[in-house]
Structure 1
């Protein structure tokens, strides 16, 4: 309701005018809301996440800001290497990076969130208009140079970093896992005790080893312990190895290599690591606008341990 659309008698009494203004204030969202402002629905607030495309070649390690992410996606890129997409909502790091270019796969993954912000360094020229048309807020050094900086201790292109506090993004304080419908609860029945799991891409590998003392899966990359820039060990409460189809996309990088496209709409097998066990699971996502559901062998909903979740998109 807007005041400009409401008629009142020219000779309205002060009391009647007060009642009218009170009614208008109620239509605008209650106390604490400025005139003309609207309160976003809870789903929109939960979906306001920041996703940052993170480099993952040896020259980019150790990365910054990964331990603060709610979710981390790992995907295959050109030459059999991998990159990560860190998703933030409950808290923001002071610095995140090194930031690298976006891929077509990222656009489909991010459809699970309500118009997220995607921070990236750039993209293949033919992909840029596709990104511009996607339901997300692109954040690049060209668009907002104050939010990015180049570190002097690394060579380009592995030296671009994001300062999330200077980005036009306001974190909600709600875990991004809630947008996906992930349920943090006691483990489902079953599961096999395991000390860890290794996922291999053609030119890189990620290993997750259970630490009973830390109650999380410690990450190694290419055989070496993975650490953050501040020296802390990378680790996850849950690791989801999601088996997917990886096929050539219509895009190439600047060296002429075809970019792989990881299909995250459909269904398939998954392996969920939590609490020192691995659980067989199934994943299903019927459409790009839907979230991914994970189910246990009995058809019930898969549950997760509270904490950071890594999704490793592995070729089936």
Structure 2
């Protein structure tokens, strides 16, 4: 039986194989189905071995990650499976500083029980050595992840009534019970804030930018905008401040009044921050204390602020269905491009 935080669970028929001697960490290959041919299994195993997965103890990790660009064919198209890795990451004070956040392509910020915050980091262009601390999934994650092609979702557990919904989703669940060799417990933080993931034991390599089927665009900034030095977003029990650094060409982050840093002490400064106004309502799920889980609705339309290059742009967002990415446009309908580099999307309650 799983709980909201920190629990692992068994999910028969949806088990994700870790690469340590039990099969390839790839979608479409499951124990007991009997549909894969011997040649397909051999090819998948060869791919896993070539990726260099090891059975040794978890390496010391400085949080900086390792660049793993996707391989490319002669035509210049990405030769990767197209499966992103999404990781649910703890964001309470006891969990900071997190490891591997700076390697993510996108970091989503959502409200959870008690007005606190939790992160979902999405990896496509590179995989860090370690990511964490890993925490539990929420109902909102399922809708958000539908935009990707069968993503791998790493999380520590979920509320028991939510598990049947996760079973039905087009994703690969990666929990400590599903892929025990991909996880370890650290020693610097107290449980439950010390569960870490080794991404290379989930995906053999980073799939590449083409796997980010989000609707996001990179390019020149839109015309206009308001010069902005700092922007703060508040949840009932959490707050985020983004302060423009001309030197770093990014928005230096502060979380709950303290600098947001990597495991080796470097300040996070994403080039683009999106404050997306959405409906946040009470769901039918709750934690062990009875606090109801907020549901963040990311399908629909509304307004947003795009922070880039020291300016704030008032825009509109549109996501017609769960399988669509989110498109951002100016009031006149012109597509809005983001700066190259990491994007943080902070979901805020619609005014």
Give 3-state SS (helix, strand or coil) of 1:236's partner: coil
Equivalent position of 1:16 in the other structure: none
Give the aligned partner of residue 207 of structure 1: 241
Q: Which runs of 4+ in 1 moved over 3 A?
A: 42-47
Structure 2 residues without counterparts, runs of 5 or longer? 1-42, 44-76
Asked whether the equivalents of residues 268 and 282 of structure 1 are also in contact (C-alpha less than 8 Å), the reply is yes
2:336 is aligned, of 293, 299, 302, to 302
**Alignment correspondent of 2:270:** 236
TM-score by length of 2: 0.76
Change (3 A) 1:44 1:265: farther
| Preserved contact between residue 216 and residue 326 of structure 2 (Cα < 8 Å) | no
> Given the superposition, is the C-alpha separation of residues 47 and 172 from structure 1 closer, same or farther in structure 2, using an over 3 Å criterion?
closer
The residue that corresponds to 1:291 in the other structure is 325
Q: For 1:190-244, what per-residue CA distance to the aligned partner results, in whole angstroms no more than 9, with x for missing partners?
A: 1011101000000010010000000000110011111011111111110000000
Provide TM-score, normalisation by structure 1: 0.84
Q: Deviations over 1:154-211 (max 9, x none)?
A: 11110000011122453213265x4113211111111011101000000010010000
Mapped to 2, the partners of 1:113 and 1:46 lie a distance apart of 12
Q: Which residue of 1 aligns with 2:305?
A: 271
Distance 1:247 1:47 in 2: 32
Corresponding residue of 1:67: 102
Q: Which has the higher strand share?
A: 1
Query: SS at 1:146's partner residue?
Result: helix
TM-align CA RMSD: 1.5
Q: Which runs of 5+ in 1 are unaligned?
A: 1-33, 35-41
Question: 1:43/1:288 Cα in 2 relative to 1: closer, same or farther (>3 Å)?
Answer: farther
Q: 1:216 aligned to 250, 272, 279, which one?
A: 250
The structure with the larger Rg is 1
